[in-house]
Amino acid sequence: MIRAEEVIGAIQAAFEREPGIGVHRHPITIEFADGTVTLSGEVDGIAAKKLALEVAAAPAPVSGIVDRLRVEPSERMEDGAIRDHVCDALLGEPAFDSYSIRAIVKQEMEAIRSLDDGKRILEVEVMDGVVTLNGTAESLSHKRLAGVLAWWVPGSRDVVNGIELSPPMEDNDDETRDLLRLVLEKDPLVNASQIRIRCRNRVITLDGVVASPNSMLAAESDAWFVFGVDRVINNLGVLG
């Protein structure tokens, strides 16, 4: 029988071999019991979070992951401010014009925008910087877009995307690629026309030449923010 210490040691060693996780800058607490790994701590970005989850799931004895990792926010904000920014972003997005929007305020559900059609609803809750999205969306693209908008709020430390789909639908690489194209077009830090996107088995590859290092990093972050993306290969170059 493999001891918990051995599993934890193997995961810690794998973390140290993956520079994108950055465990020396942001230590991650690892626990293992009954086949389940629990990761806790604050990491410096969405890439580090997703890479850590992928690496921790790899050892053979691991059958489940409990994700308690949080992303260091670019700006510390109160939960109410984060909630308001997320709601404003959803209200301002044309794709959600036909959606009712609700938010949990002081443990009570509050209507932000009510429409007659009860089939499309987005619900927002924020606790300790973690944005939880619930409700019902008509497409995977809408679910993913809502998640990216929540991640774009500077104070967000994590986004839990529990939005259900009605009707249910299968995921596919083309949908993921098309949604990321839309996200890049909406990001003011990115010139989407300079970037080629490929998606295969939940892995995004970015090719092209962009104007600045900030544009390169923003495009990569946008790809990581998309729900269901497991890895991003950034082949972007910078002009000059």
Confidence of residue 2 (pLDDT cuts 50, 70, 90): confident
Segment 29-47 shows an average pLDDT of: 96
pLDDT of 119 higher than 90: no
Give the integer Cα–Cα distance in Å for 106 and 110.
Answer: 9
End-to-end CA distance of the chain: 56
pLDDT of 176 higher than 80: yes
pLDDT of 179 higher than 90: yes
Task: Please report the pLDDT score of residue 29 as a whole number.
Answer: 98
pLDDT of 12 higher than 80: yes
Reported as a single tens digit per residue, the pLDDT across 41-59 is: 999 999 999 999 999 999 9
Q: Parallel, antiparallel, or unpaired: how do β-strands 195-200 and 158-161 relate?
A: unpaired
Task: State pTM to two decimals.
Answer: 0.93
Task: Please report the pLDDT score of residue 66 as a whole number.
Answer: 98
**What are the φ/ψ torsions at residue 155 (nearest 5 degrees)?**
-85, -5
CA distances from 94 to 60, 90, 128, 186 (A): 45, 8, 29, 12
State what percent of residues in the chain have pLDDT above 90: 92
Segment 162-177 shows an average pLDDT of: 93
Task: Please report the pLDDT score of residue 86 as a whole number.
Answer: 98
Mean pLDDT for the chain overall: 95
Domains and CATH numbers, the chain: 4-71 (3.30.1340), 79-165 (no CATH), 173-238 (3.30.1340)
Confidence of residue 208 (pLDDT cuts 50, 70, 90): very high
Tell me the H-state helices in 152-212: 173-186
Beta bridge partners of 133: 124, 161
Task: Please report the pLDDT score of residue 75 as a whole number.
Answer: 92
Reported as a single tens digit per residue, the pLDDT across 181-202 is: 999 999 999 999 999 999 999 9
Task: Please report the pLDDT score of residue 1 as a whole number.
Answer: 61
**What are the φ/ψ torsions at residue 97 (nearest 5 degrees)?**
-60, -25
